[in-house]
Amino acid sequence: MTQALMGRLDVFVATGELPSDVDVLVVAADRVTPEIMVNMRRAAAQCSAPMVLVTNELDRTQLLGAVECRVVAVLHRSAATEERLISTIDVVAGGGGLLPPNLLGDLLRQVQNLQEEVLTPRGLNSSGLTSREVDVIRLLTEGCDTEEIATRMCYSERTVKNVIYAMTSRFNLRNRPQLVAYAMRTGII
């Protein structure tokens, strides 16, 4: 890295504790090995910052694991010029992400496979909710009370109350309005 780039970045060797006020983590490795994945998981556990991964080699089977470590941008090492790295860091700091088209396609296929092979057979969607839970939340957003929801969905009031209780407990929410707000914030509805 050039001196100009070094002046704009705080550089940490990921061997110890990371500062909590990091905006973006940049991980550089020739190859993403199992050891590098362990280090990225450790860094993700210590710091909630998104990551930029600069590497020569990322196995497609490791892509979803990298995303779980908060990797939101991948640059091939040969393309990681000073200008491109700074531009990528700026995009990531602003909430964006960048993946080469082939990796984006691979990631989307992996997400689709996860949906088809894991979530759908268990009656779940990508939010981790069943279709029944999503229907209950939608009716709550319309202002329906327990009795109206039970009538519309052909369930007992007790079943509706249990569904609502299960969701509020699972997401550590206190009441129905918080459940509706959570659903809206996370894009469930």
What pLDDT sits at residue 174? Answer: 94
What pLDDT sits at residue 120? Answer: 78
Please name the residues in contact with 89: beta carbons below 8 A apart, sequence gap of 6 or more. 9, 24, 26, 52
Query: How many CA atoms, within 13 angstroms, populate the side-chain half-sphere of residue 79?
Result: 14
Q: Beta partners for 73?
A: 52, 98
What pLDDT sits at residue 1? Answer: 47
Spell out a b/e string for 154-169, using b for 16 or more CB atoms within 10 Å of the CB, else e.
ebeeebbeebbeebbe
Name the stretches of the chain with pLDDT < 70. Answer: 1-20
What pLDDT sits at residue 6? Answer: 45
Global pTM reads 0.63
∠ CA 127-22-96, rounded to 5°: 45
pLDDT digits (tens, 9 = 90+) for 126-157: 777 888 999 999 999 999 999 999 999 999 99
What pLDDT sits at residue 116? Answer: 85
Sign of CA dihedral 44, 48, 49, 51: positive
Short-list 9, 11, 53, 51, CA closest to 28: 53
